[in-house]
Structures are given as structure tokens and as C-alpha cells.
Structure 1
Amino acid sequence: MPRQVTTAQLPRSVRIGYGSGSVATGAFGTVPGLMLLPYLTDSLGIAAIVAGFIVFLPKAWDVVLNPIAGRISDRTIDPRGPRRPWLLRAGLTLSVSFALIFAAPEMGSRVAEAAWVVVAFLACATAYAFFQVPYVAMPAEMTSSYDERTRLMTWRVAILAFTIMLAGATAPVIRDAVGGRAGYRVMGVVMALIIAVGVVSAYVGTRRVPVGTVEAGPGSLRDQLRIVATARDFRHLLTTFVLQALATGCMLAGVAYLAEDVLDSTGAATVLFVCFVGPALLLTPVWSAVGGHVGKKAGYVASSLILAAGAALSVLAQVAPVWVVFAAVALVGVGYAGCQVFPMAMLPDAAAVDARRTGSNRAGVYTGVWTAGETLGLALGPGVFALVLAIGGYRSSTSGEADVAQPDSALTAIVLGFSLLPAALTLLSLWWLSRYSLDATEVDA
């Protein structure tokens, strides 16, 4: 079993250093979900249903790859620690491959250009798996304190929220300022540089992280996955998180369409995104304090209900004043902040309890399965939203702008895919969350 830190608190420098890795995860997790589907449908002229498959395919590959990446990181032996080398190796590869996604040259063939995106996105997804899985595994080994993990996740989610807002708000602005496919290329390079900053900051910032030697659990990867699958609390927590990732993926994919086609304003995309993420910058510490008083599970339920309420209210987008839509999305953001803090703090609890019970460390496998589930949810989100668009009769174009007149059925599909569908998924997830049972008494035992 790995040696773990038992001090009540980690140094602030370690919290900030670890949290800075969310700059990379926030940019990668946000921009493709926000920009890739419009890039495919409105710049490359690819049909919505095909574009949805293109967005989903590389992420589906990650679902298979993430547990393997976790097992490899569990068995990595390096003077810098078992996880940190992967932050730098995979993180810089992630940065370069991200820029290539939006850099497809004009080949005179939609098939060839679509293939470029698929290959670049596959490379990007592979690198992300080997960065994200070791990164998420670290908190279970950095501290054995139930409350300290919440504090650690507070920094991580705050930085994540800032990055999501920065990347999500500026990516459309950069694209529109340059214009056309060149706008997407420039945007891709800028986001790649942001990812690189997060990667290097996390690697340097965790150089003094107090993590002991990892002793990987015995048996094959299949044996480890079988054991993890029997962890009841982890399984329920994961199902909750995956369904909410699916809901978030639908909303992210719908931002550009809601702004340009329903609200008839390209600038509204940035406002919507700030409304969605902005509250997290202010409320992440508040949700952390709430968790300290009522427990992580109760806080997670409350934040989920708020997120669902805001999403449901967004159904008024076609008839209500625009400020009502912005307010509804801000309410989503209030809930989203808690829906990031709590599960991220509960995951290392589940992994640490398993390690204490069995004497074997499976943190990498746990986080591999976790990130595979999160990736699946976020990948299915745009795919499901694209399916809703196709059912609604959405019309693609090659102009780089959403200037094609859309039928009323397509506008209705955009609104429903952005509002009621995510709300229903979030409420559905609470059935599994109600079955989660770990609390401070058992984790700190």
C-alpha cells in the first residue's frame, strides 16, 4: 500500500500547483465540445449526423484507453514519482495535436478533410488519456484526509472554472475576429498554447508534492477492472457523474447554435458561456463550505437540483427576453460549480477506502475508469445533440457562418437539446447518487 500524507492540510503552493493542471483539462474539455461541431457542420459542410459521429469516435477510443493508461501509471517507476512524468510527456503531445484538429488544409474533399479531423482528434484524445488519468489519480495519494481532498478540489475546480470561462469565451471571439476557416486555425493554436501553460505549471507545481511510492495491485488489468466494478459506492458515483457529463456535453454543444440560430446573435455565445462558468469562480469556495457542513453527498444533490432547474428554465429561449435565458444559464452555472467540486472530492475517497481495505493501490485504475466514463459522457453529449439536430432537420453549410435559414423544427430541436434533455439527464442521475453511502466517518476511519 502506498505511503500517504496524514497531515491535516497540504501547503497552499501544492494545492495551486496541482490545480493548475486544470488549465489543460479545462481547455481540452471545453473547446472541442463547444467549437468542433459547428466547425464540422458550418465550415466543412459535413452533415450533422456525420459530424456527431466524428466528434464521438475519438472520445469513444478514450473510453477503452483510459483504464489502460491508469494501469500503466500505477506501474510507472520514476524518480519524479509514478504520475508526474506523464503530465509532461502526454501534456505537451496533447498541446500540439490539439492545434492540428482545426488546422485541416483545404483539400477539395469533405471526406479527406473529415479524415484529417478524425486522425488529429484521435491523437489528441490518446495524449489526453495519458495526461488526465495520472493527474486525477494524484489526490488519493497526496492526502488521506476526507476534508483536505475537498479543499484540494476547491482549488482545482476554481482554476478549472476560470479556464473554461477563458477558453469558452475567447475561442468564439478569436474565430469571429479572424473569420472563416483561418479563424478556427488561429483559435486552435491559441488554445494549444493555453494547454501547454497548464501542463508545464502542473508539472513544476507538483515537484514537491508529498506522494509516496505506489504499489500497484496484483493481477492483470482485467482482474483490476473486475475488482473496481464490484466497488458499489464507486459504481453509483461514476454513473451519476457520467449522466451529468452527458447533460453538460449537450449544453456545451448547443451554445453556439442557441446563440446564433435562436437568439440571432453570435456575441451571445460568449455571454452564455460566461453565465455558465462565471458563477463557479465565485461559488466554488461556497460549495466547499456547504460540503463541510452538510456532507459531500448532500451538497452534490443540492447542486444537481439547481443545475437541472436552470437547464429546464432555458426551454423559454424562443419566447422569453434574452436576459431570462442568460439568468437561466447562470443558474445552471451555480449548480455546475458544485457538480464539479463534490464528485471530484468523492472519487479519491472511494479509491482510498479501497486501498485501505485491500492493501493494494488501484488509484490509477479507478481514475482510468472514471475519466473513461467522463469522456464517454462528454463525447456522447455533442453526438446526442447532433442527433437531435438531425431529427429537427438542421441544415449544414460551408460558409463558416450559421447563415442558412433553419426550419422551425430545427430551432425547437436546438432549444430542447439545450434545456429539457440536460435537465432530465441530471434528475435521472440522482437515483444512483442516492445509493452512494461513503461519509467522513468511513473515509477517515
Structure 2
Amino acid sequence: MAALGASTRFGYALGSLTTGAFGTVPGLLLLPYLTDTMAVPGAVAGVIVLVPKAWDVVFNPFAGRLSDADLVRSGSRRRFLLSGGIGVAVLFAVLFAHPGFGGTAADATYVVVAFLLCATAFALFQVPYNALPAELTASYDERTRLTSWRIGLLAVAILISGGVAPAITDSVGGVMGYRVMGVVIGLVILAGTIGVFLGTRGAPVGDRRPPTTGWRDLLATMRAWSSFRWLLGVYFVQSLGTATLLAGVNYAARQVFGDAGLQTVLFVGFVGPALLTMPLWPRVGARWGKLWGFRFACIAFAVAMLGLVAALVLPFGVSIVFVALAGVGYAGIQVFPLAILPDLISAEEERTGATRAGIAAGVWTAADTLGLALGPGLFGLILSAGGYVSSVDSSAAQPHSAVVAILLGFSLLPGILVTLGIPLLRRSVLEPAR
């Protein structure tokens, strides 16, 4: 099978600027945005972060059906990418605009509505974006290479958004810092949208098989598609784990490591090794198979999280070593499920004779969205259980119980959740023939 050209790989991968920015910044800063500029209690803030994402869990499969139908009708999913991505860019800036209505309830309601609209626009971008690899190539190994390019750009996006966003909020300060950050990251999202739209102009689009016609067909497909369900289960629990880690970075930098400015250091220490080792994971997959590569990555991440449990007594340099190891594992647990997914989609489409890429991507994105939403919500509950004190200027002194809760939510809990995925990686259903 012919390999994809570098321009197609890079063009597709540019969409990670959009997915990385939207997936990282709200998970990193939306909770402190609520607790430390609007004085929203931690448990309530966690629910606020969850509600719009819960809607997306319902909407994403519907977006998948729309995407499949549009592929059959027009031969392309690209207009969904463009309209959805532009909507995300604009609404992201709106989300962090903080108009200041004079009351916590009114301000929190504004955030819920803005985040709901932004998450809906993101579904229109993310669902067809996840569906594309199954149509760009039928090659087992080429899909791993394509995914590694995507995850490589994702690491860059996380480095840019996860490093720059906190730096902007810290340097500008207060509400205005969040406003400026929202505009800057919105421009990054827009650049990724335009990049993938233009970069995939001449890419293959796959066969125009008939789409799934109704919800009964969808449910029947999911019941019969055991391999997809197993992989989806792994991806969900691991998305929950990484989202909990992201939600804790801001709090860990301030309360565990003692300096808000260390957010950027933590991100560079995490994403830098992920970016450097990204090209190695496809080689691991080619040598030992995608499932064993996936397992190796899970183990590396879990060991790193276990080491970070001792961060309160370890020198910061040692903690950074564990952060770097977590980044190496994170690269793998991002590459392999997204490389296995198109293999499963192609096998199912051959079995049924119908288009399944869009609907599978919709269900997949719904699970990913739910995991990313529950992570900050779960961390908010941990803050509440630890007695975290909310404020309007991040100056409240925190009890030792809150610091311990932050540490465990930032390290031990993500490690446990990622490890839970390992028993679900069943070779009998997830390893297709090459």
C-alpha cells in the first residue's frame, strides 16, 4: 500500500493545534478561573466544568451521523472541520472574557453557556477529524505513522497552549490575564483549523458507503462491535486520568511546589520528552505490535505518577524526572489507541458494507469528552474533600489537608486510572491481522 506524502501527514496533523489547545487549556485553567477569580466553590466549579461536556456526550454521536451523511452526499468532511473550528476559536475567547455581572451565580452561568456552545462547536470539528485516518490510508503501519505525526503536533500544541496560557494569565494577572489568554489561544485554534482544512485538500476520502441510517442501527453496531467497546473503555478511563492530571497542574505548581510560575516548567518537563520520544513509539509498534507498545506506555506513565506521590519531600529536580517519564508514557498512550481505532473501523466497514468512520468517531469523541469533563469535576471534588479555600484573587491560605489532596489528585489518581486500562487491552479482540 502506498505511503501518504509528508504534506498530507503534516496537513492532517495541524488539526492537533485545535484539539490540543481546546483539550488542554480548559482542563488546565477553567477550574482555577472559576475558583480563584469568581470565588466559585471547588465542588460547584467541578460541576460547571462537567455540564457542557455532558451535553457533548449526547451530541457527539449525532455529529458523527451528520459527518457520515455529508461524506456520502458531498465526498468530504472538510466543511465540518472548518465551520466547527472557527466556532471553537471565537467561542473560546468568549469563554474567558469574564464580563463581570457583579455576582458569582451570574458569572458562573455565563461560563456554563459559553462553554456549552464552545464544546458543541468543538464536536463538529473533532468528530470528522477523528474519522479521517480510516479514510486517508488502509495501511496498518501507515496509520501508526500518521497518528504519530498527529500526536507529535499535539505535543507541540500542548506545549504552546499549556505553557503560554498560564504564562499569560500570570504575567498580565487577574481577569484581564484570562481575557488576553482567551484571545491568544483562540488564534492558535484558528490556525490549526485553517491548517488542516487546507492541508487535506487533495487527501483521499475513502469509499462512499451508505451511512448508519438510525439510532437502532447505531446501537446494533455497538452491540456487535466488541473490539471497539474494549478500546473505547481503555481510552475513556485513561482520558479521565490525564484530565485529572491536567486539572491539578495549576494547583500543584502553587501549593505543592510553591510557585505558580512553575506551571510552565512542569509543562515543558512533561511535553518536551513526549515530543522527543514520539518518533520512537511507531518503531515500538512495528517491532512488538501496537498492543504491546500501548502496554509499555501505560506502565511508564503509572511508574512516573507513583514517583510523584512523594513530591512534597523530593527535591524539585527529582520530581521533574518523574514528570519527564510521565511525558514519555503519555506520548504512547495517545499514539496507540488512535492508531488502533482506524484498523477497527476498516474491519467493521468491510464486515457491514456501510460507513462507520463518522459514527465511530462520534462515540469515541463522546467518551473522550466525558473523560476530559469528569477529570476536572473529579479534581474539584478532591479539592472540596481536602478543604480547599476558594477566593477571587488566589491569595487564600490553604490547609495542609488541601495540599495533600492536590498532590494525590495530581499524581496517584491519574496513575491508578491509566493502570486500570491495562487489563482491558485484550489481544484477542484488538489486534487485527496485518
- Contact kept in structure 2, 1:167 and 1:191, CA below 8 Å: yes
Q: Deviations over 1:25-63 (max 9, x none)?
A: 000000000000000001111000000001111111111
What secondary structure sits across from 2:384 in the alignment?
A: helix
- Contact kept in structure 1, 2:69 and 2:211, CA below 8 Å: no
1:8 maps to what in 2?
2
1:381 maps to what in 2?
375
- TM superposition shift of 1:436: 5.5
1:362 maps to what in 2?
356
Structure 2: distance between partners of 1:436 and 1:42: 48
Structure 1: distance between partners of 2:178 and 2:428: 43
- My pick for the range that moved more, 211-220 or 235-244, is 211-220
Task: Give the counterpart letter for 1:426 in structure 2.
Answer: V
Structure 1: distance between partners of 2:74 and 2:211: 21
1:52 is aligned to 2:46: yes
The 5 A counterparts of 1:342-357 are: 342-357=336-351
TM-score, normalised to structure 1's length?
0.95
RMSD: 1.3
2:431 maps to what in 1?
439
1:20 maps to what in 2?
14
Q: 1:230 to 1:266 in 2, by over 3 A?
A: same
2:34 maps to what in 1?
40
1:65 is aligned to 2:59: yes
What secondary structure sits across from 1:404 in the alignment?
A: coil
- Contact kept in structure 2, 1:18 and 1:202, CA below 8 Å: yes
Task: Give the counterpart letter for 1:304 in structure 2.
Answer: C
1:420 maps to what in 2?
412
1:166 maps to what in 2?
160
- TM superposition shift of 1:78: 7.9
Structure 1: distance between partners of 2:156 and 2:208: 32
Task: Give the counterpart letter for 2:65 in structure 1.
Answer: R
Task: Give the counterpart letter for 2:188 in structure 1.
Answer: I
- Contact kept in structure 2, 1:94 and 1:128, CA below 8 Å: yes
Task: Give the counterpart letter for 2:401 in structure 1.
Answer: S
Identity of aligned residues (%): 52
Structure 2: distance between partners of 1:216 and 1:275: 46
1:83 maps to what in 2?
77
1:392 is aligned to 2:389: no
The 5 A counterparts of 1:254-403 are: 254-399=248-393, 401=394, 403=395
What secondary structure sits across from 1:264 in the alignment?
A: coil
1:409 is aligned to 2:401: yes
2:199 maps to what in 1?
205
Task: Give the counterpart letter for 1:439 in structure 2.
Answer: E
Task: Give the counterpart letter for 2:417 in structure 1.
Answer: L
Structure 1: distance between partners of 2:176 and 2:289: 48
Structure 1: distance between partners of 2:396 and 2:208: 56
- TM superposition shift of 1:212: 3.4
- TM superposition shift of 1:229: 3.5
- TM superposition shift of 1:81: 3.1
1:30 is aligned to 2:24: yes
- Structure 1 runs (4+) greater than 4 angstroms displaced: 77-80
1:223 maps to what in 2?
217
Task: Give the counterpart letter for 1:151 in structure 2.
Answer: R
Task: Give the counterpart letter for 2:430 in structure 1.
Answer: L
Q: Provide structure 2 residue ranges, at least 5 long, that are not aligned to the other structure.
A: none
What secondary structure sits across from 1:437 in the alignment?
A: helix
TM-score, normalised to structure 2's length?
0.98
Task: Give the counterpart letter for 2:18 in structure 1.
Answer: A
Structure 2: distance between partners of 1:121 and 1:261: 27
- Contact kept in structure 1, 2:42 and 2:390, CA below 8 Å: yes
Task: Give the counterpart letter for 2:396 in structure 1.
Answer: V
> Could you tell me which of 416, 422, 426 is aligned with 1:430?
422
What secondary structure sits across from 1:318 in the alignment?
A: coil
Structure 1: distance between partners of 2:210 and 2:73: 16
- TM superposition shift of 1:333: 0.4
- Contact kept in structure 1, 2:299 and 2:419, CA below 8 Å: yes
- Contact kept in structure 1, 2:41 and 2:390, CA below 8 Å: yes
Task: Give the counterpart letter for 1:99 in structure 2.
Answer: A
- Contact kept in structure 2, 1:217 and 1:224, CA below 8 Å: no
- Contact kept in structure 2, 1:142 and 1:209, CA below 8 Å: yes
What secondary structure sits across from 2:19 in the alignment?
A: helix
Task: Give the counterpart letter for 1:152 in structure 2.
Answer: L
